[in-house]
Amino acid sequence: MNDLLPDQSPVWQFLETKVKTVLQRYGYAEVRTPIVEQTELFKRSIGEVTDIVEKEMYTFEDRNGDSLTLRPEGTASCVRAAEQHGLLYNQVQRLWYTGPMFRHERPQKGRYRQFHQIGAEAFGMLGPDIDAEVILMTARLWRELGIESAVELQLNTLASSEARAAFKAELVSYLESRKDQLDADSLRRLETNPLRILDSKDAGTQALLDGAPSFNDFIDEESRLHFEQLCQLLDAAGVKYQINPRLVRGLDYYGKTVFEWVTTALGAQGTVCAGGRYDGLVEQLGGRHTPAVGFAMGVERLVLLLEELNAVPDAARQLVDVYLIGIGDDNLVPSMALAESLRTEAGMNVQLHCGGGSFKSQMKKADRSGARLALFIGSEEREAGEVSVKYLRSGAEQERLPLTNISMALSERLNKGLGE
Ligand code: HAM
């Protein structure tokens, strides 16, 4: 679990602002749900025999003896909230959320025990059009962030639950007779969650799977059509994808479409965004049958990727426009007044020097603040009704400007690039 410090927070804010804007472009409304839920909610939605529920949840008893869990993901909570407040009754919903999630995994680069997701869920729409729109939305986001060349879309269909059950039976019988060739994890999954074996990173297991029954032969007609139409819609919109028949996902609620956006730039934890369709979940949690599709992106991984690709514009890290110094106690009042009026009239980010010190040390702080301009008012300036302007990031000559109309004069100079 990590702290987020000032050198990092501008990158997070850059990302969060872009994502929010794109979500709003597609008509998504924000929901905020509690960080803890009844443990049952996650068991019933994510699945009893998934890694998340079996090994990774932070579960505790509260003072009433209720079993609560720090949310390991956002979909279950979003469904619970939407259902509880009647949002799914005879209407479609496009919802998004963001916040910390908790999984007790082995930490490594891109994998943490507290991590952050931004997720979106669309309820009440049955066809492949909404699947396509959800994917288009993520593709737009990568373009807006300038990382589109570093991510690739993997796509699969998990078909109907009947198709999965029939395939599971065949797969298990194929693997049962070859148990000795399976890696330890897959051996365990053979009993609990055999489809996850398709996802195994073990080379021996992957080779064994080459001869296994193919899921493709089990896909039902409706799911096949849904998938074909989705592919056509993506083709028409110019979104490239790779069909990966071994993409199965680690949560049990999916059927039909599943997808992941992956990058090779981050090492082992390369999935930056993942999701799919989960038409059965609302009903499973006690609501009426409601088709649904959504995804969640890992904020830490996207931040790492933005940094890896140098995709964060300098302006996003520029927190201070002006560093303002009143030299000596006599000049505190006019400098504080000037700082206030620059904030009000020019909307500038002004850091006022507080705490005294020598002029030299104040100028050092001005430089370290990242500001483009240092302004100072000494006795001479005060008596003349002026302010001195030093350009910290360019060779432009220091100058003195009258205090009247100072906001406009400074804005003009910054717009002309004098501060660069
Ligand atoms: P998920 O694949 O478990 O899906 O997580 C989504 C994303 O969260 C991952 O692709 C990854 O970027 C990030 N993530 C997951 N675990 C960690 C971790 N330990 N550290 C850092 N990042 C992590 C879900 O959670 C589904 N609820 C997605 C969804 C929404 N499906 C439909 N709607």
The CATH number for 397's domain is 3.40.50.800
Assess whether 282 and 329 both reside in one domain. Answer: no
Average pLDDT over every residue of 92-117: 97
Angular region, 90: left φ>0, alpha ψ -120 to 50, beta rest:
left
Residues 399-419 pLDDT 10s = 999 999 999 999 999 888 877
Assess whether 240 and 336 both reside in one domain. Answer: no
Angular region, 209: left φ>0, alpha ψ -120 to 50, beta rest:
alpha
Assess whether 232 and 278 both reside in one domain. Answer: yes
Assess whether 337 and 375 both reside in one domain. Answer: yes
Angular region, 65: left φ>0, alpha ψ -120 to 50, beta rest:
left
Give me ligand 1 centre to Cα 268, in Å. Answer: 15
Average pLDDT over every residue of 232-240: 98
CATH number, domain with residue 91? 3.30.930.10
Q: Which amino acid is at 102?
A: F
Residues 239-294 pLDDT 10s = 999 999 999 998 999 999 999 999 999 988 999 999 999 999 999 999 999 999 99
Question: Does residue 238 sit within a domain?
Answer: yes
Assess whether 274 and 386 both reside in one domain. Answer: no
In this prediction, residue 287 carries a pLDDT of: 96
pTM of the complete model: 0.94
Number of domains in the chain: 2
In this prediction, residue 192 carries a pLDDT of: 87
Give me ligand 1 centre to Cα 240, in Å. Answer: 22
Assess whether 294 and 234 both reside in one domain. Answer: yes
In this prediction, residue 199 carries a pLDDT of: 86
Question: Does residue 198 sit within a domain?
Answer: no
Question: Does residue 361 sit within a domain?
Answer: yes
Assess whether 280 and 405 both reside in one domain. Answer: no
Domain extent at residue 93: 9-159+219-308
Task: Give 308 or 315, the one with higher predicted confidence.
Answer: 308
Question: Does residue 199 sit within a domain?
Answer: no
CB atoms within 10 A of CB 38: 13
Give me ligand 1 centre to Cα 324, in Å. Answer: 44
In this prediction, residue 415 carries a pLDDT of: 87
φ/ψ (deg, to 5) at 389: -120, 120
Assess whether 271 and 344 both reside in one domain. Answer: no
Give the mean pLDDT of the chain: 95
Strands 350-352 and 373-377: unpaired
In this prediction, residue 419 carries a pLDDT of: 72
CA Rg value for the chain: 28
* Coil vs helix vs strand at 327: coil
CB atoms within 10 A of CB 166: 17
Assess whether 105 and 251 both reside in one domain. Answer: yes
Q: Which helix (H) or strand (E) holds 187?
A: helix 184-192
Distance CA 131, CA 9 (A): 32
Assess whether 362 and 400 both reside in one domain. Answer: yes
The token duo for 136 is: 């288009």
| Pocket lined around ligand 1, Cβ cut-off 6 Å | 73-75, 103, 105, 110-112, 115, 117, 119, 121, 250-251, 271-276, 294-298, 300-301
